[in-house]
């Protein structure tokens, strides 16, 4: 595998994301629940960076034998929406966002993984771009994340804090609120962008149907 600019940029992205993951796992600043949820979200986000690279690198043939594992890894996208929603609620309410009932939010991820494990038993060779599952899963992931983004916005709207007060609180916060919200915003834009472009390329079916660099 040639270490070109795209590969080098991906290595930097994965490294920085892992450093941020570790930072939010161990930091004592801010609120513990917010930090742990964001750290988990960053870890899942790192999986998406690797998946995107493995299916869009110029030397993508290097990853051809790993397509079953890569497609399983991609199902972690179903965790991004719920984690964003939990983070927003934890950030706004300053209390633990997880309880027994929240397990329902992880059902799409569990179902997708179980389905693929059963599906793989009858498939010897699996190429992501040649499987109709790629289209359906991409649509589901995009819709799933958009639904949770809307839920998160509704949660913000339901609070008594207006936009000016929200922004002021971030400016005077002694913690890492500004960094956390910046990361959340970036992850939202990135994951919607990735799956939108993936959907476009699958439907349009250009010369080769890997995701754009």
Q: What is the pLDDT of residues 83-138, one digit of tens each?
A: 999 988 887 776 666 666 778 899 999 999 999 999 999 888 888 888 889 889 99
Mean pLDDT to the nearest integer, 18-36:
87
Supply angle C-alpha 124, 44, 106, rounded to 5.
80
Mean pLDDT to the nearest integer, 177-198:
85
Q: Is the pLDDT of residue 1 over 80?
A: no
* Model confidence, pTM: 0.82
Among residues 143, 38, 134, 21, the alpha carbon closest in space to that of 84 is found at: 38
Q: Is the pLDDT of residue 189 over 80?
A: yes
The pLDDT of residue 213: 44
DSSP state of 121: T
The pLDDT of residue 184: 87
Cα distance between residue 187 and residue 180, in whole Å: 11
pLDDT tier at 166, thresholds 50, 70, 90: low
Q: Which two tokens stand for residue 71?
A: 């497609």
Interior/surface letters 170-182, b for 16+ CB within 10 angstroms, e for the rest? eeeeeebbeebbe
């Amino acid at each position: 595998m040639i270490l070109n600019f795209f590969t080098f940029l991906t290595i930097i992205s994965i490294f920085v994301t892992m450093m941020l993951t570790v930072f939010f796992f161990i930091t004592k600043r801010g609120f513990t629940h917010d930090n742990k949820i964001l750290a988990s979200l960053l870890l899942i986000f790192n999986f998406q960076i690797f998946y995107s690279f493995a299916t869009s690198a110029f030397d993508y043939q290097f990853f051809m034998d790993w397509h079953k594992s890569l497609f399983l890894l991609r199902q972690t996208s179903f965790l991004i929406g719920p984690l964003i929603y939990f983070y927003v609620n934890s950030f706004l309410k300053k209390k633990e966002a997880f309880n027994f009932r929240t397990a329902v939010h992880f059902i799409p991820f569990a179902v997708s993984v179980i389905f693929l494990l059963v599906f793989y038993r009858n498939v010897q060779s699996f190429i992501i771009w040649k499987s109709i599952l790629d289209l359906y899963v991409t649509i589901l992931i995009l819709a799933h994340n958009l639904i949770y983004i809307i839920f998160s916005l509704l949660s913000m709207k339901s609070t008594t804090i207006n936009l000016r007060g929200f922004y002021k609180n971030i400016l005077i916060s002694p913690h890492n609120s500004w960094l956390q919200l910046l990361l959340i915003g970036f992850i939202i834009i990135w994951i919607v962008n990735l799956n939108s472009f993936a959907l476009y390329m699958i439907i349009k079916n250009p010369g080769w149907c890997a995701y754009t660099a």
